[in-house]
Amino acid sequence: MLVACGMQRCHQEALKKNRVMLAKQLVLKELMEHMIEKDIITTEMMEMIQAQSGSFSQNVEFLNLLPKRGPNAFSAFCEALRETKQQHLEALILKTTSNLSHGIARLEHCYGSNLPFPASESCNSKRPRCIEPMEHSLDYGDGPSIPPVKYCTPEFYHEHQHLAYKLISEPRGLALILSNVHFSSEKDLEYRAGGDVDCTSLEMLFQHLGYQVTVFHDQTAQEMQNALKRFSKLPDHRDVDSCIVALLSHGVEGGVYGSDGKLLQLQEAFRLFDNANCPNLQNKPKMFFIQACRGDETDRGVDQRDGKEWSDSPGCEESDANKEENLKLRLPTCSDMICGYACLKGTAAMRNTKRGSWYIEALTSVFAEDSRDTHVADMLVKVNRQIKQREGYAPGTEFHRCKEMSEYCSTLCRDLYLFPGYLPGK
């Protein structure tokens, strides 16, 4: 089954139908402060909006951003309208929402409300989508088998280690996985079916690659922040050569959801591991993997004009002086990091209810097969290639033939080979 996260469709439609009126009349200055207080937008987003010239352009930028800020964004916006004495605008969009909801109710009366509704990986709201037939599934069994990690040879290590990060400690490093699949009932975030498969796959992969792995399940945003902070301060980082952090949850651009429906801002998480805040990991590679939506747009894909390649459709998807001081080598605040994202900014990530997410399935497969002789950046390119070739199979739903595109960003300064299985002198 496919699943994607974001504002309910009828709320998106209500904003769309009143877009011109809102763009003309909305008074943003105080309202955005309320939206920051409600954890819907960030100060960086407010500054981006305020950089637009004129109130109309600022309102348009805000309206473009709002539907991508999760399932709580609409109710928070309505509340902020009341708090800033713009109730007339709230009444306008709520009336439109009511009319749209009555239309959905009429459809359910005609067709019944017990139909199975496919969904997509971001913060999917618990809502019925337009009437859709039962999705087809090509899945068999309870999830993917975990491929064994192939070890590198001593010859390969000696040929490549001079251009690579030192990565021979035992363990190779510490790894932290934060996996959220259940969310509090008062928040409109769905159970992430298949999320446990991703967590198990990554835990086994990291262990086979020689990492000491810690896993936490279903953490609130504050618990996630605390776990990341404790992890970044561990003295054991001094004695190992690298670090891995994986975050698996619903999400929006720039953040992932805790089990309480509150957002953990990714930049705050990354900052815990920079050269200023985590000196034990200075000059050591730090890997981050984010399996979460970064918006709610489903990538419908385009037809390749002259291509001969076919997409894979493996199943029904869810969607630091002066001269008197001893001078020390200066480092930039942030370096030696690489982060893989399941999807592009603004788009939804896809998850299969039995096999787990497209991204984690590709990541575990590629790393198990190729880490013996390929550095991490090149492996993430191969993951991108696999994701590009994949295609949703759910006839009759909005996710049929849908696409996804993963990406990564890097401040690595050397080749990052994991050298699995190689231990000097053994």
Neighbours of 267 (CB within 10 A): 10
Coil, strand, or helix at residue 212?
A: strand
At residue 255, the pLDDT reads: 92
Q: Please tell me the chain's helix, strand, coil percentages from 3-state DSSP, rounded to the nearest 5.
A: 40, 15, 50
Whole-number pLDDT of residue 115:
33
Report the pLDDT value the prediction gives residue 392, as an integer from 0 to 100. Answer: 79
Tell which residue, 210, 216, 236, has the closest CA to residue 228: 216
Using a cut of 0.75, tell me whether the model's pTM lies above it: no
Q: Taking Cα atoms as reference points, which of 317, 255, 302 lies closest to residue 121?
A: 317
Structure tokens at 214: 């810690």
CB count, 10 Å around CB of 262? 18
Position 271 scores a pLDDT of 95
Q: pLDDT at position 318, please?
A: 53
Compute CA distances 349 → 24, 234, 304, 407, whole Å. Answer: 34, 32, 21, 12
- Known catalytic residues are 250, 293
Q: Which strands, in side-by-side order, build the sheet including 173-179? A: 211-217, 173-179, 242-248, 286-291, 337-341, 407-410
Other C-beta atoms lying within 10 Å of the C-beta of residue 159: 11
- Which segments of the chain have a pLDDT < 50? 1-4, 104-119, 121-143, 310-311, 314-316, 320-326
Q: Coil, strand, or helix at residue 6?
A: coil
